[in-house]
Amino acid sequence: MAITKTNFIEYSRCPRYSALEQIRQDKIESKMTLEEYKKEEENNEIKELLTSMFKESGEETEDIDLTVKEDIQLQAMMNYYKEVEIETARLAKKLFKGKFVYSENTYNQESFDFVQNGIRYLCYTDIYNENDDEINIIEVKATTSRKFSDNLKYFEDIKGEKYPLFTKVDGIFKLNNPVNNNEKLIKKYNEKMQKLFDRYGDIGKNIFDLSIQRFIIDNDLKNQNNKKKVNYYLAVLNHKYVYDGYRKDNKRIYNTVDGEDIVVFYDMNKITEMYQDKIKVIASSLEEYIYNQNSNPCNVGVYCLLKETTECKYKNICFKSVPTSNASYQYIGFRDNTGFTENKYNKYDLINSGYYKLDDIPYDWIKDKPNMVIQRDCYDENKIYVDKEKIKAGLKSIEYPIYHLDFESLPCPMPRFRGEKPYSQSCFEFSLHIEHSPGECDFDKDNYVFLADTFNDEREEMVKQLVERIDITKGTMLAQNVSFERTRLKELAELFPEYKKHLLKIVENSTDLLYLIKNNEKLYNELGFDKERSKKINYYHKYLSGSYSIKKTLPVLSNLSYDLLEVKNGTEALVTYLKYETFSQSDLERMKKSLVSYCKQDTWAMVVILDALRKLVN
């Protein structure tokens, strides 16, 4: 049996994964249909598991594999991710001498393998470099250095000096030793170091990945009697890098700008070495799971990565008792690792203890949490909670006309236009509905949409149209989750100084639709409500399931739906924009109209929700 690095990560999640994967593979490779499985009484357990893995399509040979989840955004962004590797290789050649092996195609990359206990462990390297003295292994991750820069500063003294775990030396970030003779510093250093060894954390998952590679590579090279030193590096996008817009032959050129390169390198020699004993233990457990497979339920945990992009594909099996709405961990204010007042449960603890639904949680646990009590009462008694007085006061605080604004943007790994950084939210569309007085807003006549006509930089034209439509001498800009729109406006203000004053005034005159539906303690304090009431939510319906996203609030306050739209959500919008150059002319025009319809629906939804709130309290 061959285990790749990806297999290693997946199979070592929990004792059950390997067995479930084997059942799935047997089903795929056999000629036995799901219906035939169902006829075998002795295979009831297998039948139940397979029913959660596969959905019958009507064609015996084409059952739908429910464990395969298509990530359309990942696929659409793939060329940018490959570009990260190309830029990393370009910069690596400035730091290291010798022969380089790298390729956009995994199977053309340098590979390593070794056999242990009958299992062949295999991995490919993103960038392999070898010279007369050493071998350098470079793992490329399309994340940013911000996680290392911000999260790994381990102490700030009374002078305001921060001590980082990594410091740049000769172009490479090296691990620092703790600051000696200071107990507090050493404690903080060790706490931050632990983040590097959390395989499921934002930072630790990349180091775990590289440490598995080291496990395989070191064993392979040992079998080859390699005498050269082997170094391990992690390469990530530089969060400080600001693209200057330089292009040559119609291609973006990422030159060094203000001393910063697009990619930075972290020396992970010491850390991956420290990780090896742990990796060996995990490998031993993995082998046990493979050779002694057991598909029986086991405890769920952080390894399930619920709601993450790397969520376990067998979640539907292990979480079959947990409802998708009004689950035990969907209480307002509930956060993992903080739990409830007297019982420090995270969501996995709740599920393992049999607390699946909202009403499984003992009432005593939430009785001192007013918002949780409101949520529970609405669920138990099937009622709607409305604080009419607060909503009325919030409505009165908004000055007309209201400019309902929504941006669509592309968080591109590689900055595309001048002034952008890796993963900058690059705006390509906005919709604006202008509500002149309460309820006076026409779906078509009072709507203005800007959509980039090409894949080129059209941001200045977008800004021009925006400032033409919004009168900063009167009125309020309204958005749902207004911090996103405010941030985009501030970024555009810095890029286009001519419009800076106008854009920043829009920010100053903005507010959030969520302040009316959910709450804003500061606003309601200023409007004269006491502290306790100001903290309480304004509105709750059990179908919200603890969430106030527009996709949740819209159905409970109106009949408006996105179901009939061709582009139905933000992910589909950015993917459609990314595919501009792949469409035929007729398809391009159709999809542009779909993008306009989607963004227009977003701002109209705010108009509809606001009107529903007025009617609710009058």
Helix residue ranges, H only, 156-198: 183-196
With 80 as the cut, is the pLDDT of residue 69 above it? no
With 70 as the cut, is the pLDDT of residue 354 above it? yes
**Measured CA distances, 324 to 253, 493, 585 (Å):** 46, 41, 41
pLDDT in tens, 373-415: 999 999 999 999 999 999 999 999 999 999 999 999 999 999 9
CA distance 234 to 349: 34
User: What beta strand segments (E) does 225-326 contain?
Assistant: 229-237, 247-248, 251-252, 263-267
User: Can you tell me the mean pLDDT for 80-96?
Assistant: 95
What is the pLDDT, as a whole number, of residue 307? 87
What is the pLDDT, as a whole number, of residue 72? 78
Beta bridge partners, 162, equal 156
Say if residues 525 and 534 touch (Cβ distance below 8 Å): yes
Higher-scoring residue by pLDDT: 162, 172: 172
What backbone phi and psi angles, to 5 degrees, belong to 320?
-65, -25
With 80 as the cut, is the pLDDT of residue 313 above it? yes
Say if residues 609 and 553 touch (Cβ distance below 8 Å): yes
Other Cβ atoms closer than 10 A to 282: 20
What backbone phi and psi angles, to 5 degrees, belong to 305?
50, 50
With 80 as the cut, is the pLDDT of residue 337 above it? no
CA distance 128 to 108: 11
389-617 in CATH: which number?
A: 3.30.420
User: Can you tell me the mean pLDDT for 36-44?
Assistant: 57
Q: What is the CA radius of gyration of the chain?
A: 27
With 90 as the cut, is the pLDDT of residue 77 above it? no
DSSP state, residue 268: -
On the CB side of 496, how many CA atoms lie within 13 Å of its CA? Answer: 18
Mean pLDDT of the chain: 91
What is the pLDDT, as a whole number, of residue 45? 60
Is beta strand 99-102 parallel, antiparallel or unpaired with respect to 127-130? Answer: antiparallel
H/E stretch holding 449 reads: strand 447-451
What percent of the chain is modeled with pLDDT above 90? Answer: 79
- The string over 292-306, giving b where at least 16 C-beta atoms fall within 10 Å of a residue's C-beta and e elsewhere, is ebebeeeebbbbbeb
pTM > 0.75: yes
What is the pLDDT, as a whole number, of residue 25? 86
Say if residues 175 and 164 touch (Cβ distance below 8 Å): no
Domain ranges in the chain?
A: 78-108+123-277, 324-369, 389-617
Residue indicated by tokens 């958005």: 479
Residue 384, SS3 per DSSP? coil
CA distance 416 to 250: 12
CA distance 2 to 290: 11
